[in-house]
Amino acid sequence: MDLNLQVFQNELTCSICENCFVDPITTDCGHSFCRPCFYLSWPNRSVLAHCSESQEEMQQRDFHTNVCLKQMVLIVRQARLGQFLRSKDNRCRIHMEAKQIFCEDQRSLLCLHCSTSKEHEAHRHCSVEEAVEEHREKLLKTMCFLWEKYCESHIKLNVETVTTRSWEIYVSSKREGIRAEYDNLPPSRYMEEQTHLERLQREGKEIFEQLKDSEARMAQKRELLRGMYTELKEMCHKPDVELLLDFGDILHRSEAVCVHMPQPVKAELTAVTIPGMIARFDLFKGMTDAYRLR
């Protein structure tokens, strides 16, 4: 690689992944990172982020792409790709010409003669440079959507975790409320009270199990989203030609991960009485019965 190009590239390197920036962002303190690297190094989205260079705490949560840096990285990548396309390693073995055309159907590099042959003439073609940027931008767009889903999943998981941890305390408070309600009623209502408590216990246990299952599914989904995001990031960092040839079905797999996002359990108890409700209901029932006897 040309020495000047190497020096230029070194100035456009993310300190986290040590690769050329991908969708670069710049923090308040002036340091720049790949957006995906920065996000993945920020494990807890509920707290403020810290710059890995200055260790300064940042108030902002949304970061805009540093367009100037992104354009400079593009210049470096295009120069590096141009060197490869002109190299001896990229010559067609049949026609001894540079392979500068990308066949989308077979995911291969072709020279001009091969692209117009009977084998490839019906396929979709474009220049390698155009294909690389188009594929990388598709990856970045998908990553943006994946990260939104990841953050959404993270928030829902936190809510479900808090609900699960406090559920037994909540059920216990309702149990005490029922007992306090029946303490104001005649002893003849004892069996009714026990039926109500048993129902509360059964419902509470069923909902607790649902919460635990939901929490596990949400945690699994969150890790799947993070794993897919990491895979897309690694794909973005691949050399241009390698990115094209290895692209495969990664976008389809990313879409599949976002399907069937777990939703929080609707944790509601039906076996709950409102203070004074039983007494008021009995009074109302007595008045209704008296009215009917008139």
- DSSP-assigned beta bridge partners for residue 55: none
Please say if the pLDDT value at position 176 is more than 50. Answer: yes
Residue 70, pLDDT score: 93
Q: How far is CA 57 from the centre of its chain?
A: 23
Confidence of residue 36 (pLDDT cuts 50, 70, 90): very high
Q: Domain ranges in the chain? A: 1-85, 88-123, 130-292
Please say if the pLDDT value at position 59 is more than 70. Answer: no
Q: Does 262 or 278 have the greater pLDDT score?
A: 262
Domain with residues 1-85, CATH architecture: 2-Layer Sandwich (3.30)
Closest to 28 (Cα-Cα) out of 52, 47, 51: 51
Residue recorded with tokens 């691949």: 238
Give the separation between CA 108 and CA 132, rounded to whole angstroms. Answer: 12
Residue 65, pLDDT score: 92
- What are the tens digits of pLDDT across the range 214-272? 999 999 999 999 999 999 999 999 999 999 999 989 999 999 999 999 999 988 887 66
- What are the tens digits of pLDDT across the range 62-120? 788 999 999 999 998 998 899 999 999 999 999 999 999 999 988 999 999 998 888 88
For residue 39, the 8-state DSSP code is: H
Give the separation between CA 270 and CA 184, rounded to whole angstroms. Answer: 21
- What are the tens digits of pLDDT across the range 143-163? 999 999 999 999 999 999 999
Give the separation between CA 49 and CA 80, rounded to whole angstroms. Answer: 34
Give the separation between CA 23 and CA 93, rounded to whole angstroms. Answer: 36
According to CATH, the topology of domain 88-123 is Double Stranded RNA Binding Domain (3.30.160)
Residue 183, pLDDT score: 84
Please say if the pLDDT value at position 26 is more than 60. Answer: yes
Q: Is the dihedral of CA 78, 84, 90, 95 positive or negative?
A: positive
